[in-house]
A and B are shown apart, each in its own frame.
Chain A
């Protein structure tokens, strides 16, 4: 069975600095999708970025980028020029491309942004 691990329960970053959140996963599949979701204090889950495993190029969305290392089964999220609004829980998630409809979520990393 697939698993997703976020080993950092909490991280802090100074405003305007860069921070990297870690995510590792375990799977025997070769094709899958990976996601980072943000959950601010409002508790609305927001998709930050997604990565298709067959694509070698790392996904980028404005200040958010990933470092996808398929062989190492690592999918870290880098937030550049951190803003106060980035403070939230961040969840890493995995989805198989096969028949299962399930998503596997990590336990989350709480990010604090210091002014």
Chain B
């Protein structure tokens, strides 16, 4: 079955530590995205990637970093510079613009708690 996997589902870290969230897709999608969702809130874009070895900042990139070394993988690192990292993180993928309707497919999310 094609889809997006995120691991782990729950992640706990101490303040001051960097942490990396995993996102893998086997949909052969060119584009991948990271969103942050706070309780009762909508989705805010952190980073997105159009192709391998290329990525762009979203609306709230400060304190986060990403890499796109493989088409299937788009890991997100939450650094110690992120002032309020506790949140729910969603990874998504889609086809490129112009290739079709291109809805986003989402992973199950990772709940990060930093204390």
Contacts and interface: CB of A to CB of B under 8 A. Distances in A.
Interface string A65-105: 00000000000000000000000000101011111111101
Contacts of A105: 42-43
Interface residues of A, number: 27
Contacts of A110: 40
Contact of B108 (A44, A93, A107): A44
A110 B41 CA distance: 10
Contacts of A33: 101-103
Interface string A10-31: 0000000000000000000000
Interface stretch (B19-27, B63-71, B78-86, B90-98): B90-98
A45 B50 contact: no
A3 to B, nearest CB: 12
A43 B102 contact: no
Interface of A: 33, 35, 37, 42-47, 50, 52, 91, 93, 95-103, 105-108, 110
26 contacts: A35-B103, A43-B90, A44-B109, A45-B92, A45-B104, A47-B105, A50-B101, A52-B101, A93-B104, A95-B97, A95-B102, A95-B103, A99-B98, A101-B94, A101-B97, A102-B45, A103-B33, A103-B45, A103-B94, A103-B104, A105-B43, A106-B42, A107-B41, A107-B42, A108-B42, A110-B40
B48 interface: yes
